[in-house]
Amino acid sequence: MNEIVKIFDTTLRDGEQSPGYSMDTGEKIRMAQQLARLHVDIIEAGFPVASQGDFEAVQRIAREVVGPAICGLSRANTGDIDRCWAAIKDAKKARIHTFIATSDIHLKYKLRKSREEVLDDAIKAVRHAKRYTDDVEFSAEDATRSDPDYLVKVFTAVIEAGAITINVPDTVGYTVPSEYGPLIAYLKKNISNIQKATISVHCHNDLGLAVANSLTAIENGARQAECTINGIGERAGNASMEEIVMALKVRKEKLGLDTNIITEQIYPTSKLLTHITGISVQPNKAIVGANAFAHESGIHQDGLLKEERTYSIMKPSDIGLTEHKYILGKHSGRHAFKARLKGMGFNLSEEEVELAFKKFKELADRKKSIFEEDLEAIVTGLVRTVPETYVLESVDVQSGTQKKPKAVVVVKVKGKKIKVTENGAGPVDAVFKALKKISKFKGNLEKFTVNAVTGGTDAQGETMVELIENGKTSRGVGSHTDIIVASAKAYIAALNRLVSQPQKISPQL
């Protein structure tokens, strides 16, 4: 059986205190409950002494979230520790995490204390915390810029005082794997009572090395990793939980270690955090980025369709996704193109596939995103346009704080102009209601998005409308400096595509 590396999640403490990621109490509880479903071992719920709001959030998490140990952070003084315990005491498993800096630069400029004074503070803090709970963790802040022999002295003393976890933080993201791994090995070898404690690591990403440093520390004896969802945290962030966990899972034969994480909950947890904070991860983010399981290269698509392991070291289902995404674009190959057409219900001869593929490549050189409607148009010989059953003639709207939104829309339908006036919740809603009435569209508006194509107040806006009717989906895109007009154009384009769609052929099995 593989040895377990404990996952100490500090999304709600170190992650939440970074710019843009602040959460209210309800959001913290919701996130903590998801972390429990993820099966993290410890949730660092906050820094109770920081504010009354932080105290109350930690207290509620301690009372309401079951499963992981609930941890509060405190500086190495009795006041902080007392406040921390008051917040977490109702948890079924409660941990006090106390810290003090140990590097000479922190001692001289921040604490203005001697090494002996800091050592004394650390021992007193751990002893005081131990009065409340057996689960006490001690961190030597800025450990990677500290004298290793002084670290040995401090850690030996705090373990003797009762700490059962000692943390070796790379607080400013300064270290590199070739020195961090040996530091962990040195501490493990020279701390005389290390068998009584777990070595933990807490790495920051200032040089982009947080995960690499965490893994090399684990290889050298650390058995707790402190990390955050999506790698959020102070400055450039913390070590990414999902990257550490999946590295241990994918390379289990190399590292011989495991975690208690239910990896299928990784993607839902990542998405919940982005939903709460409104901040998405970059598309190329490892594990949870939009492109992590997306493939456009024809060589890659062909290999994946033949054998998944050729170009993917993980299954999408491992993190809670359903499947790989095959992005059709100018880099795509015949195999993926043919598979997509078959999935859409089109059964073409090899000659027809070749002709359609050639037209697809021509379109992909001109068009950034290729949708199923584009493929349908290609198959029916309509590479660039669809018949214009509906032609937008004019749009006039009124709206304001004292006016009920109203739209007057004129559309030419098979050569005949039809004028409709509709009210709505807003000007776009009024326009869409008018278009729906003119076209006698019976389906639903599934999606409506707006993007600025350029900068400035005169920016051109691009809108996308997705309609669905009788199982058929259609997208339309419109652009204009007036976003209302752009929206109308997109809706009209979607309507035209919808009425021109061919009847899909059932795949032959």
| 441 phi/psi in degrees, rounded to 5 | -70, 125
For position 327, which CATH number holds?
Answer: 1.10.238
Q: Into how many domains does the chain fold?
A: 3
* 3-class state of residue 449 by DSSP: strand
Locus of tokens 């050729």: 310
Residue 147: which region, alpha, beta or left (left: phi > 0; alpha: psi -120 to 50)? beta
Is 385 inside any structural domain? no
Contact assessment for residue 193 and residue 159, using Cβ atoms and an 8 Å cutoff: yes
Does 72 share its domain with 179? yes
Locus of tokens 């090995």: 185
| 17 phi/psi in degrees, rounded to 5 | -85, 5
Give pLDDT, residue 382. 33
CB atoms < 10 A from the CB of 500, how many? 18
Is 311 inside any structural domain? yes
Which pLDDT tens digit goes with each residue over 222-262?
A: 999 999 999 999 999 999 999 999 999 999 999 999 999 99
CB atoms < 10 A from the CB of 355, how many? 15
Q: Where is the domain boundary, 353, 379, 405?
A: 379
DSSP state of 66: -
Q: Give dist(CA 14, CA 38) in Å, integer.
A: 19
Does 218 share its domain with 327? no
Q: Give dist(CA 143, CA 105) in Å, integer.
A: 11
Does 131 share its domain with 42? yes
Does 134 share its domain with 191? yes
Give pLDDT, residue 508. 30
Does 138 share its domain with 202? yes
For position 466, which CATH number holds?
Answer: 3.30.160.270
Can you give the residue range of the structural domain that contains 110? 3-277
Does 216 share its domain with 337? no
Q: Where is the domain boundary, 229, 246, 277?
A: 277
Amino acid at the residue 411: V
Does 418 share its domain with 345? no
CB atoms < 10 A from the CB of 361, how many? 14
CB atoms < 10 A from the CB of 262, how many? 14
Nearest C-alpha neighbor of 220 from the set 181, 263, 278: 181
Is 493 inside any structural domain? yes
The string of DSSP codes covering 122-162 is HHHHHHHHHTT-S-EEEEEETGGGS-HHHHHHHHHHHHHHT
Does 88 share its domain with 136? yes
Q: Give dist(CA 169, CA 173) in Å, integer.
A: 9
Does 443 share its domain with 352? no
| 151 phi/psi in degrees, rounded to 5 | -60, -45
Per-residue tokens: 337: 């193109």
- What are the angstrom distances between the C-alpha of 235 and each of 12, 20, 232, 272, 304? 15, 11, 9, 22, 37
Nearest C-alpha neighbor of 36 from the set 16, 58, 15, 64: 64
Give pLDDT, residue 383. 36
Is 282 inside any structural domain? no
Locus of tokens 């005081």: 128
Amino acid at the residue 239: A
Which pLDDT tens digit goes with each residue over 329-348?
A: 666 777 767 776 766 556 67
Q: How far is CA 132 from the centre of its chain?
A: 36
CB atoms < 10 A from the CB of 309, how many? 11
- 264-295 b/e with 16+ CB inside 10 Å = b? ebbbebbbbbeebbeebbeeebebbbeebbeb
Is 320 inside any structural domain? yes
Q: Where is the domain boundary, 277, 310, 328?
A: 277
Does 324 share its domain with 428? no
Low-confidence ranges of the chain (pLDDT < 50): 295-296, 304, 381-385, 453-455, 458, 503-509
Is 126 inside any structural domain? yes
pTM beyond cutoff 0.95 = no
Give pLDDT, residue 323. 57
Does 46 share its domain with 176? yes
Give pLDDT, residue 480. 74
Length, in residues, of the chain? 509
Does 315 share its domain with 346? yes
Nearest C-alpha neighbor of 245 from the set 267, 222, 263: 263
Is 508 inside any structural domain? no
Is 285 inside any structural domain? no
For position 127, which CATH number holds?
Answer: 3.20.20.70
Element (H, E) at 364: helix 350-366
